[in-house]
Amino acid sequence: MGSLQKYYKQSATYKIFTGIFSELENFLDTLGAITINGVDTAKFIIKGQIDLKEVCTQCYRFGITSLPITLSIVGMTSVIVASQVALEMVKQGGSNFVGLLMTILIVREVGVIMSGFAIISMIGSSLASEIATMRVTEQIDAIEVLKVNPIKYLFVPRVLAGIFMMPPIVIIASAFGVITGAITAKLTSGLSFMAFFDSAWLGIYMKDLGVCLLKAIFFGATIALTSCSCGYYAKGGAKGVGEATTKAVVWSFVAIVIWDMIFAIAFFF
């Protein structure tokens, strides 16, 4: 019986299923941790237990330091899309719709999702590695021993910064994206700014702007919460910090794409 069990444990089937269940366990652990931390963070916010000074510090970090990279990514994406479609549309007689198409695309999707990706790579990774380093150097243990709640001290200001800063970042980045789209259309197809902006407003409604801002709020909270949570449960030394950072980036990417899909189904299906 013993040797049969040993043989069975060495088999490829056993290893594949053990691997799958282990990954599933890790997935559920992480999802559970993010949910629990999210609920605890929300409780502190609802009770008004907020350190405004720390929120301002995190807002500066979230918003100001990430703005150049966010504008670059959204702007370049807009240039890529406009250079692909503007000339073709003008050739096919659709010059009246170039501005419309670009604006819908940027306001509804490109502005918010590309800003989200930029924030994840710049701020999410930084939050995760910061908190993971605090974990592995026992700084979070020290916070607990000093009877301060680490969720209140670490999560609340960062999640609030995500909620407050993501909408203005998305508005600025989207406006920048529309402008770079107009410039690209003019350079590639000769479409005038007047023709571009005349049609730009036609397909944009208050609902689009509202959904865009709502998405920004959800993305900001999700990125901050996911990154903090992945860092919070880091184990080991430098390797643990690296793993936590990678996990934060991957989970945040997946999470905001899922949110985006939910919003698309809920509002535009």
Partner 1 sequence: MSIEVKNLIKTFDEKRVIDNVSFKVEDGETLAIVGFSGSGKSTILKLICGLLNSDSGEIITSEGDIAMVFQYSALFDSLNVSDNISFALHERKDLRNKYSEKEIRNIVSEKLELVGLKGIENKFPSELSGGMQKRVSFARAIVTEPKIILYDEPTAGLDPISSTLIEDYIVRLKEETQAASIVVTHQMSTIKRTANRVIMLYEGKIVYEGTPEDMLMQNNEYTKQFVTASLEGPMHIISEN
Residues in contact with partner 1 by the rule CB under 8 A = 51, 133-134, 137-139, 141-148, 153
Instruction: Give the residue with the Cβ less far from partner 1, 141 or 198.
Output: 141
Q: Which helix (H) or strand (E) holds 149?
A: none
Instruction: Give the residue with the Cβ less far from partner 1, 52 or 146.
Output: 146
DSSP sequence for 80-133: HHHHHHHHHHHHTT-GGGHHHHHHHHIIIIIHHHHHHHHHIIIIIHHHHHHHHH
Instruction: Give the residue with the Cβ less far from partner 1, 143 or 204.
Output: 143
Amino acid at 198: D
Instruction: Give the residue with the Cβ less far from partner 1, 35 or 49.
Output: 49
CB 248 within 8 A of CB 133: no
Instruction: Give the residue with the Cβ less far from partner 1, 82 or 140.
Output: 140
Instruction: Give the residue with the Cβ less far from partner 1, 61 or 108.
Output: 61
Residues 6+ apart with CB under 8 A from 79: 180, 181, 184
- Closest distance of CB 158 from partner 1, Å: 13
Interatomic CA distance for residues 78 and 103, integer angstroms: 10
Rg (CA), the chain: 23
CB 21 within 8 A of CB 132: no
- Closest distance of CB 149 from partner 1, Å: 8
- Closest distance of CB 150 from partner 1, Å: 10
- Closest distance of CB 214 from partner 1, Å: 32
Burial code (b: 16+ CB inside 10 Å, e: under 16) for 174-202 equals: bebbbbbbbbbbbebbebeeebbeebbee
- Closest distance of CB 61 from partner 1, Å: 11
Interatomic CA distance for residues 125 and 10, integer angstroms: 38
- Closest distance of CB 256 from partner 1, Å: 27
